Amino acid sequence: SAVGARTFTASAGQGLELMHEVLYVASSLRLPIVMAVANRALSGPLNVWGDHSDVMATRDCGWIQIFAENVQQAFDLTLCAFRIAEDQAVLFPVMIHIDGFHLSHVVESLYLLDQKRVDEFLPPYHHPYALNPDSPLTMGAYAAPNLYTEAKKSQDVALRATKETIFRVWEKFGKLTGRHYLPIEGYKERDAEVLLLTMGSFSEIAMIAIDKLRAGGHKVGLIRLRLWRPFPFNEFREAVAEAQLLIVLDRALSFGGPAPVCSEIQAALYPLQKRPKVVSFVGGLGGRDISIDTFEEMILHGIDKARRGKLDELEMIGVQE
């Protein structure tokens, strides 16, 4: 990537963490690598099945991070990732998160774009600062305390500013294919008093649970967090503005602390005068499925917890006695 080649790689779980240090190097050097991550649990005990432990361990590495819910989205969002990463207003690496086994090892139909349409969407790549012996430059040089803070500030400002390009690329892809992507996507959320928040492939199972609860007279809906970094603060706040209760499903633990997604959700809501109550659940660890019935039970239990004022308790679902 540093010499100007269009670059793709892939990793998962333990392999991603093995090279954890290099993730920070790639983003700090503004190298527009695209990486598919088949999200897996982390040791120990040794487990190669899917959850979001590896995602959360790499949360703060400075990459743009996007979640796919099915195979079609994995394909689409990977194409979009190159267009986003290589935009000269961006030049950041991008991770596309694809749930291990639930997506990475399933067989699904998808629509492929022919080469002509791919070429129309994804122009030739040119890195303006590629390594070249005819025009020498330095990457990743030493920075003493008098420079490091300013470098990190600049990197953070630049990463947050990529949202505009991300949204514009998704809009162009939607016009080309009819498949539209947003940082926060809803399902039957418009008049919902209770919202469930999910990320990744379990979102589609959750939709069926929402349908069943709706048929039973419950005003529930679903929101899916697609853009993990940079976090879409304004779009998220708008999505939950009318809800009374937000139930957050994490698929990873932050040992000794609040669940990672839920803690960010609560932080995003904190400045608001009017905000929904938040209930935190953790489930689907190490490849364990969450069934439609379990989603229904979790939502109803979350409603009951909120009614009883039990908002400060992280609860793990599906724990066997």
Residue from 17, 9, 8 nearest 252 by CA: 17
Q: List, in order, residues 6 or more apart from 147 with CB less than 8 Å away.
A: none
Residue from 159, 197, 170, 165 nearest 276 by CA: 197
Degrees (nearest 5) of the Cα angle 268, 16, 73? 65
β-strand pairing of 227-229 with 277-282: unpaired
Residue from 56, 61, 86, 91 nearest 152 by CA: 61
CA distance 176 to 174: 5
Give pLDDT tens digits for 21-46. 999 999 999 999 999 999 999 999 99
- Print pLDDT tens along the chain (321 aa): 999 999 999 999 999 999 999 999 999 999 999 999 999 999 999 999 999 999 999 999 999 999 999 999 999 999 999 999 999 999 999 999 999 999 999 999 999 999 999 999 999 999 999 999 999 988 888 999 999 999 999 999 999 999 999 999 999 999 999 999 999 999 999 999 999 999 999 999 999 999 999 999 999 999 999 999 999 999 999 999 999 999 999 999 999 999 999 999 999 999 999 999 999 999 999 999 999 999 999 999 999 999 999 998 899 998 988
CA distance 303 to 280: 11
In the chain, which residue ranges form alpha helices assigned H by DSSP? 13-18, 20-28, 53-57, 71-86, 115-121, 145-160, 163-177, 202-215, 233-239, 260-269, 292-307
Tell me which residue has tokens 């596309």: 96
Residue from 154, 176, 170 nearest 92 by CA: 154
SS3 category, 271: coil
Give pLDDT tens digits for 103-155. 999 999 999 999 999 999 999 999 999 999 999 988 888 999 999 999 999 99
Q: List, in order, residues 6 or more apart from 152 with CB less than 8 Å away.
A: none
Work out the number of other CB atoms within 10 angstroms of the CB of residue 121: 18
